[in-house]
Structure 1
């Protein structure tokens, strides 16, 4: 969804501008209205899915197989230091990725003189890479284990990517592809670690946080 938004919304705005014959609040408003309609469509699909899931629970008696994962905020006081460190890694890592992607289009236009279309394309490559690489890395981590080592590799690769983008004029596609690989690897290695350090009955609360 993010990839489609980065690469399509600019094109939609241009088409609306051509249709109306001028650029202004009406053009922007109509483009945003189209985006809002797609969000409503997504919401409708989610509501339908929720209904079908609830119906399947009744027909298949899924409630009998529940695992006992209950969300209780009082469990927070019992969380171990290891789990809190996982939370810190998660927050700090994604704080270094998502804000950059949010502002990346302007960065690539200003520093590398990319066109808006080129900037949108390179800015979305992180998500494009993560789609096929996530199952591959997931299988690799499951087979090899050593999640901490993979997390460390992902963090160092992300740091290298940011250094290349900030302090060099190398082809930015190299750094962004590296960032996409690291982004996928960290998700596959870090998130399963929660289940290693939390009792089963607290997993719902831990993953919720």
Structure 2
């Protein structure tokens, strides 16, 4: 909801866009609210610890860094798919509003609404795709479908003269489908006492990728002179994102092949049959 509201801020908060400083004041207030929420949680947690007697946490195996190399192919395929997918989506969202305005003559309000479509789609469709995966399985196959959907989107945005709703809808479905399947799939691939480590490594690599590609896309837009006067300057960055899509599709295919083989973990089976 926070990301959705931020993308819609040019609509509901248009009066704040008269200068560069006013949006920063809004962000400052939101930041203070976050700090207040953290302090409130700490107070409530401290109170609960004193009032209630909680059982001791169960022991977990100690994790050694060398254990990372014991994770099998399917886990690392998921990690690579994760970093390529999020590196193709979030860095694009960083400059998407500017891109829609300069390359497609969208208003600031409409560009923000387009950017929010991914978040809105994930709010509605992600739980539904999760339920579908539990019912039919086919998790690796569904991740392949999501990778296929996102693959042509960026080049469509640059080279094709069509309604923006078409590529945005495709991206929204992929943005809902892949995460709904990808994150829960880790629990099929890793022992329970290593789940925390698996998710933390996966998130770390994902964030490193997002950081690197934010910088890379900014550099490519700058060096190509992307602007309202030169909308094709965005093409280089879109090709970079499309290459990530190709890598993601190949990895999703390899994951599916691995899971259909004798060393599969049940990703292609319905819950209860894994």
Q: What range is the shorter-chain TM-score in?
A: 0.7 to 0.9
Give the Å deviation of 1:197.
1.2
Structure 2: where are the runs of 5+ without partners?
A: 202-274
Q: Which of 104, 109, 116 is the matching residue for 1:112?
A: 104
Is the 1:126–1:179 contact (alpha carbons within 8 Å) kept by the matching residues of 2? yes
Residue 90 of structure 1 and its aligned partner are, at CA, apart by 0.1
**1:46-195 mapped onto 2 (5 Å cutoff):** 46-53=38-45, 55-56=47-48, 59-64=51-56, 66=58, 68=60, 73=65, 75-195=67-187
Alpha-carbon distance, 1:111 to partner: 2.0
Q: Would the alpha carbon gap of residues 13 and 114 (structure 1) be closer, same or farther in structure 2, given more than 3 Å must change?
A: closer
The corresponding residue for 1:3 is: 4
Q: Could you state the TM-score of these two structures normalised by the residue count of structure 2?
A: 0.65
What is the alpha-carbon root mean square deviation over aligned residues?
2.5
- Residue segments in structure 1 that go unaligned for 5+ positions in a row: 18-26
CA distance in 2, matches of 1:69, 1:170: 55
Instruction: Please give the alpha-carbon distance, in whole angstroms, between the structure 2 residues aligned to 1:85 and 1:170.
Output: 34
Does the 8 Å CA contact 1:138/1:188 hold for their aligned counterparts? yes
User: 1:112 deviation in Å?
Assistant: 1.5
Q: Which has the higher helix share?
A: 1
Q: TM-score, normalised by structure 1?
A: 0.83
Residue 168 and residue 193 in structure 1: after superposition, are their counterparts in 2 closer, same or farther (change >3 A)? same
Q: Aligned pair count?
A: 200
Q: Which moved more, 1:47-56 or 1:187-196?
A: 47-56
